Amino acid sequence: MAEGIRTVMDDCIFCKIARGQIPSKKVYEDEDIFAFQDINPQAPVHFMMIPKRHIASLADATLEDAKVLGRILALSGRLAREQGSPDGYRTIINTGRIGRQEVQHLHVHVLGGPEPFGRMMPRSA
Ligand code: 5GP
Ligand code: ZN
């Protein structure tokens, strides 16, 4: 397949991490998926799972991406257990401006640890 914009982005930090061009603490890797520790963890367990192929955000995903996105979700429980969150975890996908996405390569945050989190969203404005 020709390497287009959705395959490799030269100036994308997460493409570089997936290719090993920027160091990261790897959690898991296969042909299509890379998982690594968040550099600024927000919980005792905090890693990210990304498709190796560049997809800018969940809003940019198409049905062609369904398989890798399904595999990421299906693998998240095993990796969360292995990373020390056996009793559940929270997945977060920040998307676009409204979702306050900071890195423009689709990533699934997996957060966990020994204690339950607070509510998902504040109740008041
Ligand atoms: P977002 O706000 O886009 O959902 O999350 C971006 C996440 O990427 C943040 O949690 C941030 O700590 C993490 N991050 C940004 N740059 C790097 C990096 O170079 N290495 C790693 N491991 N994580 C990063
Ligand atoms: Zn990328």
Determine contact, residues 62/102, Cβ cutoff 8 Å. Answer: no
Tell me the CA–centroid distance for residue 125 and ligand 1, in Å: 26
pTM assigned to the model:
0.93
Atom number of ligand 1 nearest to Cα 25 = 22
Cite the active site residues.
107
Closest ligand to C-alpha of residue 22 is 1
Distance (Å) from CA 101 to ligand 1 centroid: 10
Give the distance (Å) from ligand 2 centre to CA of residue 97.
Answer: 17
Alpha-carbon torsion angle 111, 44, 21, 56, nearest 10: 20
Would you write out the chain's pLDDT as a tens digit for each of its 125 residues? 445 556 667 899 999 999 999 999 999 999 999 999 999 999 999 999 999 999 999 999 999 999 999 999 999 999 999 999 999 999 999 999 999 999 999 999 999 999 999 998 777 65
